[in-house]
Amino acid sequence: MVYNRLSDLDFSLDALPAMKRPSGVLMTSPDHFDVTYVINAHMAGNVGTVDADRARSQWASLKDAYVACGLSVTEIRDRSDLPDMVFCANQTLPFLREDGTRGVLLSKMYAAERAGEVTYFRDHFGALGYEIVDEVAKGDSEFEGMGDALWHSGRRLLWGGYGFRTEESVYRLISEKLDVPILLLGLKDPEFYHLDTCLCILDEQTALIYPAAFQPDGLELVRHFFPKIIEAPEGEARELFACNAHSPDGKNVIIQRGCTDTNSALIEAGFNVIEIDTDEFLKAGGSVFCMKLMTW
Ligand code: ARG
């Protein structure tokens, strides 16, 4: 089932099956990361400006932050012809079935420049014995994995963003294939082109959002399901990708350095803030959340 608005709802969060938090972190090595084309508003003006050494050291700091949070990081090797492959939130949507089966649903990338990335993730997860769901990848509608589809913390419930990279119509098939309800969120600002640029689910009760990026019906759904909302100010959300932060454990929040107001609100809400620099990756329109994939 997919849900567009509050009045469509026929379930409550408590009634949904619990789902454990993913504990595996996958990152793509950053050796060939670059801005060589423009497929989102942030990349414009940044072609050829990436400092490769800086990018590598920022990537290593992010990896260290996950390790410091007690998680183990697996790496997949990037390819010279795929400069955005480092953003490994986008090629798949990992899932955990109620019977404990682990799988990934493969994306159908929006831009031809990134289409070649998906196969490396299929091979990686296939070799590990994950169930591979490829109907979306073979279909006509675009879908960009965990850029747009975010699991509610602790429950079998998916949030589905659409409007720029992912098509709304794809979510019916995803709901069917994964046997999960999906709450749809229309996006309206091209600088917030993936759901993970404006919604960061911190725990079952709390979300960090940039409200102006959502269509009204979706924003109402977000406010309904999260009794605690932290709003990032426009400058931090737009320039520093504050909402592209990530909490791997419901306690620590890894976030781009300099999100002063957001960080104060996070600390007040009881989170521990870990600031890292991702500004080389911001040139390509991505930050913390985009640079890793959480897996079961
Ligand atoms: N340059 C990449 C693109 O436009 C950035 C992807 C960022 N990923 C994300 N999950 N928001 O596709």
| Ligand 1 atom with minimal separation from the 111 CA | 12
Tell me which H or E stretch contains 183: strand 182-186
Other beta carbons within 10 angstroms of residue 144's beta carbon come to 29
What's the pLDDT at 107?
98
Does some domain include residue 267? Answer: no
Does some domain include residue 166? Answer: yes
Does some domain include residue 71? Answer: yes
Tell me which H or E stretch contains 275: strand 272-276
Q: Is 88 a catalytic residue?
A: no
Does some domain include residue 207? Answer: no
CA dihedral 222, 148, 85, 210 (to 10 degrees): -40
Q: Is 290 a catalytic residue?
A: yes
Rounded to 5°, the CA angle 291-257-278 comes to: 30
Does some domain include residue 278? Answer: no
At 213-246, the pLDDT tens digits run 999 999 999 999 999 999 999 999 999 999 999 9
Q: Domains in the chain: how many in total?
A: 1
Other beta carbons within 10 angstroms of residue 226's beta carbon come to 22
* DSSP conformational letter for 48: T
What's the pLDDT at 91?
98
Structure tokens at 246: 């990530």
Which stretches of the chain are DSSP H helices?
52-68, 118-127, 135-138, 170-178, 216-225, 234-240, 260-268, 279-282
| Interval between CA 88 and ligand 1 midpoint (Å) | 9
What's the pLDDT at 265?
98
Residue 79's domain is classified under what CATH number?
3.75.10.10
* DSSP conformational letter for 107: P
Does some domain include residue 257? Answer: no
284 within ligand 1 shell (Cβ under 6 A): yes
Structure tokens at 32: 């060939």
- Three-state DSSP class for residue 284: coil
| Interval between CA 18 and ligand 1 midpoint (Å) | 30
What is the C-alpha separation between 227 and 281, in angstroms, rounded? Answer: 32
Other beta carbons within 10 angstroms of residue 17's beta carbon come to 10
| Ligand 1 atom with minimal separation from the 40 CA | 4
Report the predicted TM-score, pTM, of the whole model to 2 decimal places: 0.98
| Amino acid at the residue 210 | Y
| pLDDT level of residue 290 (50, 70, 90 thresholds) | very high
| pLDDT level of residue 179 (50, 70, 90 thresholds) | very high
For residue 8, give its domain range: 2-196+214-229+290-295
What is the C-alpha separation between 53 and 46, in angstroms, rounded? Answer: 16
| Interval between CA 278 and ligand 1 midpoint (Å) | 13
Average pLDDT of the segment spanning 114-125 = 98
What is the C-alpha separation between 3 and 171, in angstroms, rounded? Answer: 10
145 within ligand 1 shell (Cβ under 6 A): no
Does some domain include residue 127? Answer: yes
| pLDDT level of residue 283 (50, 70, 90 thresholds) | very high
What's the pLDDT at 111?
98
Does some domain include residue 190? Answer: yes
